[in-house]
Chains A and B, each alone.
Chain A
Amino acid sequence: MTDAAKPASTAQPSRSRNVASRLAQYVLLQALIAALCILALRHPLSEPPSRYLAATFTLLDRGASRSVTLPAFVPSRAGMSDPAEFKARFDWSKTGADDAWSVYVPRFTNGIEIIVNGIEIFDSRRDPSANRPDRATPEIAVIPASLLREGANDLAIRLYAWGPLSGFLDQIFVGPDDVLRPYYEKRALLFLTLPMVFSAWQGMLAVILIVLWTVRRHEPAYGILALAMALGAIQPFLQSTIDEPAHPHLNAALIASAPLESGLVLAFAMLFFARRWPPYAALIFAPGIGLILIGLFASPDALRGAFLLLGIPSIAINLTLLALVVGWSELRKQDVPSLLLGCAVTIVMTCLAHDVLSVAQILPDRRLFFSRLSYSVLLIAIGAGLTWRFARALNRVDGFAAHLVTQLRKAEEKLRAAFVREQEQARAVELARERTRLMRDLHDGLGGQLVSIVALSERDQAASGVGEAARAALKDLRLVIDSMDDIGGDLMLALGSWRDRLTAQLRPHGIALDWKITPPGLPVHPELRPSHVIQIVRLLDEAVTNAVKHASATTITVSIATLTDLSGAYGCITVEDDGQGFAPASGASRSAGRGLRNMQSRAARCGATCEVVSNSTGTRVRLILPHRFPDSDAR
Chain B
Amino acid sequence: MTSSAEDIPAKDISILLVEDDPPTNWRLKDALERAGFDVAAATTLAEARASLEARQPRVLLTDLQLPDGHGIELIGETRAHLPETEIMVISILGDEESVISAITVGATGYILKDAFPTDIAATVRELVAGHSPISASIARFIVRRTQSAAGPASGPPLNTTRLTPREIDILWGIAKGFSYAEIAGHLGMSRQTVPGHIKSIYRKLEVHTRGEAVFEAVQQGLIKL
Contacts and interface: CB of A to CB of B under 8 A. Distances in A.
Chain B binds chain A: yes
A497 B136 contact: yes
Given A440-B97, A515-B177, A432 B92 contact: no
B93 A481 contact: yes
B93 A439 contact: yes
A448 interface: yes
B116 A507 contact: yes
Interface in B155-192: 155, 174-179, 182, 186
A448 B93 contact: no
A495 B114 contact: no
A342 B112 CA distance: 94
A508 interface: yes
A378 to B, nearest CB: 68
Contacts of A432: 153-155
B199 interface: no
B70 interface: no
Given A443-B92, A504-B119, A496 B136 contact: yes
A435 interface: yes
Interface residues of A, number: 49
B207 interface: no
A433 B114 contact: no
Contacts of A429: 151-154
Interface stretch (B21-29, B51-59, B74-82): B21-29
A239 to B, nearest CB: 86
A459 B23 contact: yes
B137 A477 contact: no
Contact of A451 (B24, B95, B186): B24
A447 interface: yes
Contact of B137 (A436, A497, A508): A497
B8 interface: no
Nearest to A517: B178
Given A496-B139, A500-B136, A517 B119 contact: no
Nearest to B98: A443
B137 A492 contact: no
A448 B92 contact: yes
B140 interface: yes
Interface string A557-598: 000100000000000000000000000000000000000000
Nearest to A437: B154
B165 to A, nearest CB: 18
Given A448-B92, A459-B23, A500-B137, A436 B175 contact: no
A447 B186 CA distance: 37
Given A448-B92, A455-B26, A492-B176, A507 B119 contact: yes
B92 A515 contact: no
B92 A447 contact: yes
B176 A496 contact: yes
A521 to B, nearest CB: 6
Contacts of B5: none
A478 B93 contact: yes
Contacts of A271: none
A474 B113 CA distance: 10
A162 interface: no
A515 B179 contact: yes
Interface size of B as a range: 35 or more
A490 B137 contact: no
Given A455-B23, A496-B139, A478 B94 contact: yes
Contacts, number: 116
Contacts of A440: 97
Interface string A509-533: 0000001010101000000000000
A379 B124 CA distance: 103
A101 interface: no
Most chain B CB inside 10 Å of its own CB: which residue of A459, A486, A493, A504: A493
A499 B136 contact: yes
A112 interface: no
Interface in A484-498: 485-488, 490, 492-493, 495-498
A442 interface: yes
Contact of B97 (A436, A459, A471, A508): A436
B113 A451 contact: yes
Contact of A497 (B24, B26, B135, B151): B135
Contacts of B23: 452, 455-456, 459
A486 to B, nearest CB: 8
Nearest to A467: B114
B152 to A, nearest CB: 6
Given A492-B177, A497-B137, A504-B115, A447 B93 contact: yes
Contact of B95 (A439, A452, A507): A439
Interface string B128-151: 000000011101100010000001
B119 A495 contact: no
Nearest to A492: B176
B15 to A, nearest CB: 18
Nearest to B141: A485
Contacts of A487: 140
A442 B94 CA distance: 12
Contacts of B176: 490, 492-493, 495-496, 517, 521
Given A444-B65, A454-B114, A455-B24, A499 B177 contact: yes
A495 B173 CA distance: 12
Interface string A341-363: 00000000000000000000000
A508 B186 CA distance: 30
A443 B93 contact: yes
Contacts of B98: 443
Interface string A414-439: 00000000000100010011011001
A500 B139 CA distance: 12
A485 B140 contact: yes
Interface string B76-117: 000000000000000011110110000000000000111110
The 7 residue pairs across chains A and B that have the minimum distance between CB atoms: A496-B136, A496-B177, A455-B23, A432-B154, A455-B27, A447-B92, A492-B176
15 contacts: A429-B153, A436-B97, A436-B155, A448-B21, A454-B27, A478-B94, A485-B137, A492-B175, A493-B175, A496-B139, A496-B176, A500-B136, A504-B116, A504-B119, A519-B186
Interface of B: 21, 23-24, 26-27, 65, 92-95, 97-98, 112-116, 118-119, 135-137, 139-140, 144, 151-155, 174-179, 182, 186
Given A436-B97, A478-B94, 4 more contacts: A429-B152, A443-B95, A452-B21, A496-B140
